[in-house]
Structure 1
Amino acid sequence: MIQGDSVTETHQGILKLRVSSLIALLFVAAAASAGCSEKMGSAFAPSAVEGVVGGGQLQFHDADTTSTATQGIASGGKKARWDALPESEKAARKARMAQRKARWDALPESEKAARKARMAQRKSRWDALSESEKATKRAARKQRKARWDALSESEKAAKRAERKTRVRIAK
């Protein structure tokens, strides 16, 4: 069924479904083996696992919220925030998402692989940090966001334009 490098859309869909199911199972297994629970003070601790694949649910508890993640369904506050948006904003966001997807799809496979490798590298660096280092970085991110939110639209536009002209230096 697979000839050379071409894979039909049906096969790609099946592969994506299998990979997402595997990732969900690995997440549950990792959470269970790590012994995550509310008692340990984990920021997102699973409290109930009833078979993630096939519509099972996993509950996460944060200091302020509890949300339920069901495979294929948006969870907790995200869905509420999305539902609260006006239709014009939803349409604009969907258009931007479609543009990003089109740019991604247009990339050659080698570039996609390189970007995925960089993302995996960033994730491994994050995972290697201690909880206090992560908390420090989260606090700094909140401060940056607060400064950004305090800017006027013209200042934001100027910063975006500046960002596009900057040369990125690899770490």
Structure 2
Amino acid sequence: MIGLLSTTFGVSVASALLPLISVELFAVGLVLKEPDIPWWVLALVIATGQIGGKLLHYYAARGNIRLPAFMRREKKEKPETKGRWKAWLDQFRENCRTRPVWAGTILLISAAASLPPFAAVAIIAGWAKVPVSTFLITGFIGRFARFGALAAAPAAMAAWL
């Protein structure tokens, strides 16, 4: 079981970093193949791996991690323009600063439901300088709820039918 949980942790970190990998499909397959793994253990491992991976996005957006040259945007000498997207991001940053409960709620909902996608919210939260404690706590609770429900679903369906 330790080997399966280690693999699960690795897949969850990889899926947090690379959106082409689906930890949801992996988790459902694992639960169907190994129904003896407690749902909460699986949810705990996946949530920890997911937050670990998303934390790299968060710190990169915050500027604490230096990205490789091919991933960085070159700064161009042009006048600052204020489009709708930039205005929305500036307003989001201000809301995160002045309304921490609002920022935590957005993070929690995104982590649990992935609407808006948690990958994007993790990056924006780093850019908006949301406190790391808020990001970790709300993100972990939301991810645990999401993957706990996913891991418990096959057993719940089997019991219901």
Structure richer in helix, relative to its length: 2
TM over 0.5: no
With structure 2 as the length reference, what TM-score do the two structures score? 0.27
With structure 1 as the length reference, what TM-score do the two structures score? 0.25
Which structure has the bigger radius of gyration? 1
